[in-house]
């Protein structure tokens, strides 16, 4: 299994440009999510999905869109990039077991918006 | 407001020594608490997961404790190794509409020196 894969690893955008961060998992996990990690802060949830065709907003959803057309893929779209979106983005997938779940994180995408 | 606070922010220890990292949380309702290890430039990796009914969980040289009454947790690392140098993140989960939302602490950065 490749686990959770993310592309690209690094990206530089200019303000106003749009792009899509790719995330894929090959573990048949029902849950997938996107987080951003900023210096000195904990990871914050952007969007999440509990299954194909179902998505919902997290703590910081503004400026981002997601879709989940298949179990495997969960792309994150930046509609019009802003310097405040400079961050490291992590995708995660998980499955539920009993009263909890186990999350697996991808390697991250480091995004800089100029 | 749901918050997870960790102390210390950073810590330096010598190889072979033990250390204990602290976590206080104000998340409610609470369903589980987990500790992650994050190496520089990588995604977080799960070390332990505890539900509210568990008060200790071990994973090799890592032992986590949980006091749900005082809303405190600790991660004890025994006989530290150079490879333990990383950030350690305390995360509290709460189930919300079928999804386990995670609230992340900012992490403790541990450096193990030879």
Residues B20-44: tens digit of each pLDDT: 999 999 988 888 999 999 999 999 9
- 8 Å CB contact of A107 and B105: no
Tokens of B69: 């009454």
Residue B28 has a pLDDT of 84
CA dist A105 and B38 (Å) reads 10
Do residues A47 and A66 lie in contact, with contact meaning Cβ atoms separated by under 8 Å? yes
SS (H, E, C) chain B: CCCEEEECCEEEEECCCCEEEEEEECCCCCCEEEEEEECCCCCCEEEEEEECCCCEEEECCEEEEEECCCCEEEEEECCCCHHHCEEEEEEEEEEECCEEEEEECCCEEEEEEC
Confidence of residue A86 (pLDDT cuts 50, 70, 90): very high
Do residues B93 and B31 lie in contact, with contact meaning Cβ atoms separated by under 8 Å? yes
Give yes or no for B98 touching A (CB within 8 A): yes
CA dist A77 and A21 (Å) reads 6
Nearest residue in chain A measured CA to CA from B53: A99
Tokens of B85: 């140098």
pLDDT at B97 over 80: no
Residue A77 has a pLDDT of 98
Tokens of A28: 């048949």
Give yes or no for B106 touching A (CB within 8 A): yes
Task: Write down the mean pLDDT value for chain B.
Answer: 94
Residue B19 has a pLDDT of 98
Within a 13 Å sphere around the CA of B53, how many CA atoms are in the beta-carbon half? Answer: 2
Residue A40 has a pLDDT of 87
pLDDT at A9 over 90: yes
Q: Per-residue pLDDT tens for B38-83?
A: 999 999 999 999 988 899 999 999 999 999 999 999 999 999 999 9
Please tell me the distance in Å from B102's CA to the nearest CA on chain A: 8
Residue A55 has a pLDDT of 95
Nearest residue in chain B measured CA to CA from A31: B99
Give yes or no for A43 touching B (CB within 8 A): yes
CA dist B25 and B94 (Å) reads 12
Q: Per-residue pLDDT tens for A29-40?
A: 999 999 999 998
């Amino acid at each position: 299994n490749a686990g959770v894969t993310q592309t690209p690893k690094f990206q530089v955008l200019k303000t106003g440009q749009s792009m899509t961060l790719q995330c894929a998992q090959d573990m048949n996990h029902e849950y997938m999510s996107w987080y951003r990690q900023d210096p000195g802060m904990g990871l914050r949830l952007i969007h999440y999905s509990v299954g194909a065709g179902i998505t919902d907003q997290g703590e910081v959803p503004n400026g981002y869109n997601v879709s989940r057309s298949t179990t495997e893929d969960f792309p994150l779209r930046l509609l019009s990039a802003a310097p405040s979106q400079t961050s490291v983005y992590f995708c995660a997938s998980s499955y539920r077991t009993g009263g909890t779940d186990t999350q697996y994180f991808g390697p991250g995408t480091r995004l800089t918006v100029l | 407001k749901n918050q997870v606070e960790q102390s210390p922010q950073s810590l330096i220890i010598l190889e072979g020594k033990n250390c204990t990292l602290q976590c206080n949380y104000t998340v409610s309702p609470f369903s589980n608490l987990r500790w992650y290890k994050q190496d520089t430039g990588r995604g977080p990796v799960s070390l332990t997961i505890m539900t509210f009914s568990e008060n200790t969980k071990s994973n090799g040289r890592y032992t986590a404790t949980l006091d749900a009454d005082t809303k405190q947790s600790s991660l004890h690392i025994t006989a530290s190794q150079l490879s333990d140098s990383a950030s350690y993140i305390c995360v509290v989960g709460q189930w919300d509409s079928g999804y386990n939302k995670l609230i992340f602490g900012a992490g403790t950065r541990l450096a193990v020196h030879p």
